[in-house]
Structure 1
Amino acid sequence: MEDLNTREKILKGADGLFTKYGVRSISMDDIARHLSVSKKTLYQHFADKEDIVTLVCQAHLQESRNEFESIHASAENAIDELAKLSLCVRKNVEDVNPSLLFDLQKYYPKAWAVWLEFKRMCIYDSVKRNLEQGIAEGFYRTEINAEILSIVRMALIEIAFDDKTFSQDKFKMAEVQMQIFDQFVYGIVTEKGRKLYQKCKEKNSTEVVTR
């Protein structure tokens, strides 16, 4: 196998392990064993585990960025975009280990810096733009402050990963994120927006079931 393919295989395999089990609990030995390669092969392509974690984080967040941009481009309005984003959120967090963000923050500063940059440049800008669009379309309340609520939305995403707040023994990550997402939406919409959001959610749910 060529070096490039080997490198991509390692990153993809490590991504799957980190997502399922968290980052800290997975060692270089675990990655090598999972991919049926030697540790020497890992170190031929990556400096250390933090190097792998950082590159996996970059690739994963770039996929999310592409997904957000695709949803925005295809959305009919701000509400349609939110409804599609809710499906995206559920799909992306369904199998994510809740300790993932905590592990990055505490043990992997380079990867955590990548997440912070993504949060600042992608999530914040995306939420703020959607809020401003929704206000202009009459779907969101005119008195809301888009800048403040964009920051609130970022904080809500992170709190769902906090095991002290939402113990993984008691709560499912996807359910926590969806409950938080819905409460955020219902707090900003007008009656017109609420009705359309509910209609979009029902339509998307039907499409998911019939796939």
Structure 2
Amino acid sequence: MVLPEMIFSQLRQVLTTEGIEHHREEDLVARLGVQAQDYRALFSGKEDMVRKVVQYDLQEQEREDKLLLKNAENPVEEIILLLQSGIRRLREVNPAYIIDLQQYYPAVWQMCLEHLNTYNYYLNLSIINNGVVQGYFRKDINLQLVTKIILEQFNMIVNPAFFPPDRYELGEVFRSVYMYYVRGICTDKGGKLAEEYFSKNNI
């Protein structure tokens, strides 16, 4: 029997890189090399599968973020590490995956937005607050407003009405938006560090 963790991991890879809607469940079962009864033991149908795989993906993102930030030396590095991670994730994701979620699985997409507005909100808020206290980010910024703007910019980036994926590479859009935003909230002290990181990592 294939372990559930393996099934979730493989489905995550297939759906995020190839999209959702052009895959039939029976084709996915065959591709995974699992028995139909093992698949049905995990998922009651396609929508249930998509919801659970997205939940798994969000949990994996949180785990990856913790590992990523573990060795960061300061809040500027933390923000830039998250920036790099966001660029990488968007470049690895097929735009069809995001569009399929928005069009065919609105409840699952809403779950993604709620995760963005809770987990991502408080993660960014905490990092920016620490950066202000330590003198890397400007003291005159409104923490809640700055964090909210960061998240709303992400919503704009993944909205095909603003950035059609056939015309814009989402990873590049993400990089362009956030690179200048990070510079804007930095003090001179933080700005020098940010420039070093940008140059060193070729962002």
- State if a TM-score over 0.5 links the two structures: yes
TM-score by length of 1: 0.84
Q: Tell me the alpha carbon deviations over residues 183-205 of structure 1, each in whole angstroms, 9 at most, x when there is no partner.
A: 22122112221211110223334
Q: Which runs of 5+ in 2 are unaligned?
A: none
Aligned length: 203
Closer, same or farther in 2 for the Cα pair 1:60/1:72, shift >3 Å? same
TM-score of the superposition, structure 2-length normalised? 0.87
Separation in 1, partners of 2:63, 2:7: 22
Cα drift, residue 126 of structure 1: 0.8
Shift in CA distance, 72/8, structure 1 to aligned 2, threshold 3 Å: closer
- Separation in 1 of the partners of 2:152 and 2:134? 26
| Distance (whole Å) between structure 2 residues aligned to residue 157 and residue 130 of structure 1 | 17
1:91-134 Cα deviation digits (max 9, x unpaired): 22222022433432443244234323321321000111111111
Structure 1 segments (4+ residues) deviating >6 Å: none
- Code of the residue aligned with 2:8 in structure 1: it is L
Calculate percent identity across the aligned residue pairs. Answer: 28
Any residues of structure 2 matched to 1:103-182 within 5 Å, and which? 103-182=100-179
Alignment equivalent of 1:186, drawn from 172, 183, 187: 183
Q: Answer yes or no: is the 8 Å Cα contact 2:121–2:151 preserved in 1.
A: yes
Residue 74 of structure 2 corresponds to residue 101 of structure 1:
no
Question: Structure 1 residues 200 and 172 mapped into 2: Cα distance closer, same or farther (>3 Å)?
Answer: same
Q: Contact between 2:157 and 2:174, CA under 8 Å: does it hold in 1?
A: yes
Q: Return the alpha-carbon distance in structure 1 between the equivalents of residues 50 and 166 of structure 2.
A: 25
Distance 1:8 1:67 in 2: 16
In the alignment, is the contact (CA less than 8 A) between 1:96 and 1:173 conserved in 2? no
Aligned alpha-carbon RMSD (Å): 2.2
Determine the structure 2 residue equivalent to 1:58. 55
In structure 2, the residue matched to 1:209 is: none
Segments of 5+ residues of structure 1 without an aligned counterpart are: 207-211
Query: Does the 8 Å CA contact 1:141/1:190 hold for their aligned counterparts?
Result: yes
